[in-house]
Structure 1
Amino acid sequence: MTHSSAPGRRSFAKGALAGAAALFLTTAVTGSAAASGHGGAPLLRLPAPTGPYPVGARVLHLVDRSRNDPWDTGIGVRELMVTVLRPAVPARGFPRVPQLTPGAAAVFASLAHLVRPQLPATGVDWAATLTHARAGAPPLPGRRPALLYTPGGGDARTMGSSLAIDLASHGWTVITVDHPGDASEVEFPDARPERDRIRRTALRPDLDAATFRTMIDTRVADLRFVLDTLGLDRVGVYGHSAGGTAAAQALHEDRRIAAAANLEGYLDQLDGELLPVARRGTDRPLLLAGTDGFRDARLDRSWAALLAHGGPVVRRQLDHTHHWAFTDYAALVPQLEEAGLMTAAGRAAMVGPADPRVTVPTVRDLVRSFFTRHLAR
């Protein structure tokens, strides 16, 4: 990990490897491709959390009747699915939550190689991967500091499970938010005449400026609605890619957000117009974290505009990595390569060549230490 103004890769590797041993004593990120799931497909594993607490999960269906859905106005309301992850009381008998339910996995399998072209079109049992959260495990008593997670464009909240559960294992309440119509797939409790039980993404590869603007505006409104509905104040928000863009802009718009982490999201529109947070700066802590593989002139320009205002904004970079190293793909993609289902070039284009035993702990430590420093525990 390197600061934007700091030299070299040594600090990145040194800090990352310090946390790797504890992670891999319990769950290996690589070397697991020999295990097989349904039909001989590789059994993909997510890395275990490193905190002292077990984690419980609860799924909520939230309905905002004051807004219509921007991607399908026939629905008439804006619906969200969120997962609340909290430190739990140690208890037996609560099942581990799958990363994807069978229904969501079936839809994702049909979309994965379209949403992320480097992913295999066949050969993966996406329903077989389990998270390290337990469904129905009773939460520990007491109020916990809260974080909201908003995923990248075209991604569902489920692809941020590993980091969210790790944060919860260290004492945070983490709320992962889906943005239906934007996310690859979102599963609701039931079907309605206006929509299917599982909604597919409305995004297309040829994303235009108007669609991107709608996506970011909708995500910010979704996050603020979650704060309203759950009665949250003084929270942190973190997000990847378009989720990072939304997290930074939500920080600008809502004083209930005390700190935010933008994991490689642009701070401008597709037409080059800077977002208000980049034009005006922020008086609350904001982390800008990126990769050397994804960094480009547009990102540098929009981030530099914000950094020029000064204030509590810091930039960090992960070397030998690429854009999806901030997500569960950091652990899953190397396993797919090992199983012969992805090429080395495909892996590099998604998460970079760096060892996940370095990148996974680095991202976890970076996000956790940022919020620990800036949100009172």
Structure 2
Amino acid sequence: MTSRRTLLARRTLLQGTLFGSAAALLPTAASASGGGPFLRLPAPAGPYPVGMQTVHLADPARTDPWVGGVRELMLTVLYPARSVRGFSRAPQLTLDEAGVFAEYAPRVHPGLPEPGVVDWGAVLTHGYVGAPPLPGRRPVLVYSPGGGDSRTLGTSLAEDLASHGRVVVLVDHPGDASQVELPTGMRTTVLTGPPDPVTFRTMADTRIADLRLVLDRLSGLPLAPVMDSARIGLYGHSAGGTAAVYAACGDRRIGAVVNLEGYLDLYPAPVGYDRPLLLFRTERFEGAARIESSWASLPGRRALLADANHWAFTDYGSLVPRLQSAGLVTATARATLVGTGNPVVTLAEVRRRVGAFFARHLW
């Protein structure tokens, strides 16, 4: 039996190992443009450096439900790189996206800093743009973000998954995402508050179709040679988790699904759901009772993220506590968004649970 002293030593080692990633988030210097504190995302923990490419998709067969015209998507593809020497790290947001994000973030998530306080365009990822992929065919994980959020807020978890040898595709859903920069221009969210049932149904239907479009187009993506189409997983946060579970219904291409606190009562409960499923929720989410009720009929594995709230599954889980330390987010806002737990421990637990689940079920 493992002793208490050994368990405490392991936890101390974990926190010490991750401290450098957490310390890098501290707003210790002014940004280059003088627009506020300088923030960093936590580094991935896997053995491989991470490459990154951006992809635009269009579906002439579908009409965009929010603005009409052809349905368009933006993807970020992350993957283990052979080398990153000579390649540049990508910003989390382009300068144009950062300006729009600064405007919309406190509207979508009250309590975040007002425009002009944080230079969101200075936040760098750990993905190197255009770096050559490591040879070999690898599992593919497709991510759908929460309602009102853009794909970029799933960067930290995606980078960690890629650094452990997966190809990860982050999907933006124009119309409900706070902002998406398309080749045709910037799209901003139609949401002005929590969606009503009709709007939420439109969101979910659209996201399910978007995810299936991405799966249909995997073979045509620039990184297709390193993608193993026999090993595909879906994961999503909130509305993205809802979409991931229902997109997998009847689609035998999908081998495993992770639902990060998405409601499953929008449609009839899936009957005979036979895909490996991780149902992962936070301890402090105000919708916990509804979440549990909507998950009751599903046979998936359950996990609980202690001392955490709904957006702890996103990059906010690391960034919001640092903004609070800088006096830019209140303790109440932090608790409402991401909870009160140690962000280093929370991040490690999310990475461990999601990574281990896909490792087990996608070989």
Tell whether the structures are fold-level matches, with TM greater than 0.5: yes
Looking at structure 2, the residues matched to 285 and 86 of structure 1 have their Cα atoms a distance apart, in angstroms, of 23
> Structure 2 CA distance, aligned partners of 1:253 and 1:14?
46
2:50 equivalent to 1:55: yes
Q: 1:297 to 1:118 in 2, by over 3 A?
A: same
Cα distance, 1:13 vs. partner?
9.5
CA contact (8 A) 1:34 1:339 kept: no
1:222 and 1:179 map into 2 onto residues whose CA distance is 7
Partner in structure 1 of residue 92 of structure 2: 99
Q: Quick one: distance in 2 between partners of 1:162 and 1:149?
A: 12
Unmatched 5+ residue regions in structure 1? 1-11, 192-196, 270-274
Alignment correspondent of 1:7: none
Question: What is the rounded CA distance, in whole Å, between the counterparts of 1:110 and 1:331 in structure 2?
Answer: 20
Structure 2 counterpart of 1:304: 296
Partner AA of 1:34 in structure 2: T
Q: How many angstroms apart in 1 are the aligned matches of 2:321 and 2:158?
A: 20
Larger RCO (CA under 8 A, 6+ residues apart): 1
| Pairing 1:147-166 to 2, within 5 Å after superposition | 147-166=141-160
Provide the rounded CA distance (Å) in 1 between the counterparts of 2:262 and 2:62: 25
Pair 1:323–1:29, CA change in 2 (3 A) = farther
- Say if 1:257 and 1:343 are closer, same or farther in 2 by CA, change over 3 A: same
1:6-25 matches, within 5 Å, as 19-25=14-20
- Would you say 1:118 and 2:73 are equivalent positions? no
User: Which residue of structure 2 lines up, in the alignment, with residue 372 of structure 1?
Assistant: 359
Deviation at 1:298, TM superposition (A): 1.2
CA offsets, 1:288-320, max 9 Å, x none? 0001111432111101132xxx4xx11111111
Whether 2:157 is the aligned partner of 1:170: answer: no
Shift of 1:166: 0.6
User: In the aligned structure 2, how far is the partner of 1:90 from the partner of 1:320?
Assistant: 38
In the alignment, the residues of structure 1 paired with residue 129 and residue 197 of structure 2 have an alpha-carbon distance, to the nearest angstrom, of 40
- Please point out which of 247, 261, 279 is paired with 1:264: 261
Kept in 2, the 8 Å contact 1:289–1:317? The answer is yes
How far 1:188 moved relative to its partner?
Answer: 1.4
Residue 199 of structure 2 corresponds to residue 211 of structure 1 = yes
Cα-to-partner distance string for 1:342-372 (whole Å, 9 max, x where unaligned): 1011000000010111001110011000000
Match of 1:4 in 2: none
Which residue does 2:3 correspond to in 1? Answer: none
Bigger CA drift: 320-329 or 205-214? 205-214
* Partner SS, residue 222 of structure 1: helix
Instruction: Give the whole-Å Cα distance in 2 for the aligned partners of 1:367 and 1:159.
Output: 16
| 1:328 matches 2:320 | no
For the structure 1 residues 345 and 356, does the alpha-carbon distance in structure 2 shift closer, same or farther, using more than 3 Å as the test? same
Could you say what secondary structure the match of 1:175 adopts? strand
Mark the CA change 1:81 to 1:40 in structure 2 (over 3 Å): closer, same or farther: closer
2:277 is matched with which residue: 286, 289, 292? 286
Q: Which runs of 5+ in 2 are unaligned?
A: 1-6, 220-228
Distance in 2, matches of 1:293 and 1:52, equals 33
- 2:30: which partner in 1? 36
- In terms of mean alpha carbon deviation, does 201-210 or 119-128 score higher? 201-210
Rounded Cα–Cα distance in structure 1 between residues aligned with 2:272 and 2:118 = 44
Q: Deviations over 1:61-97 (max 9, x none)?
A: 0011110101111xx2110000111100123221101
- Map residues 223-242 of structure 1 onto 2, 5 A cutoff: 223-231=211-219, 232-242=229-239
Q: Cα RMSD (Å) of the superposition?
A: 1.8
Q: 1:297 to 1:16 in 2, by over 3 A?
A: farther
**Given that residues 29 and 331 in structure 1 are in contact (C-alpha distance below 8 angstroms), is that contact kept between their aligned partners in structure 2?**
no
Local SS of the residue matching 1:64: strand
Work out the CA distance in 1 between the residues paired with 2:93 and 2:9.
34
Match of 2:190 in 1: 202
Offset from partner CA, 1:117-151 (integer Å, 9 cap, x none): 12111311010100000001110111111100100
Verify: 1:349 aligned to 2:336, yes or no: yes
Match of 1:5 in 2: none
Query: What is the percent sequence identity of the aligned residues?
Result: 57
The residue type equivalent to 1:329 in the other structure is: Y
Q: Compared with structure 1, are the counterparts of its residues 259 and 18 closer, same or farther at alpha carbon in structure 2 (3 Å cutoff)?
A: farther
The change in CA–CA distance for 1:329 and 1:202 in structure 2 (over 3 A counts) is same
Q: Which residue of the other structure, out of 140, 148, 156, is the alignment partner of 1:146?
A: 140
Contact 1:178 1:186 in 2 (8 A): yes
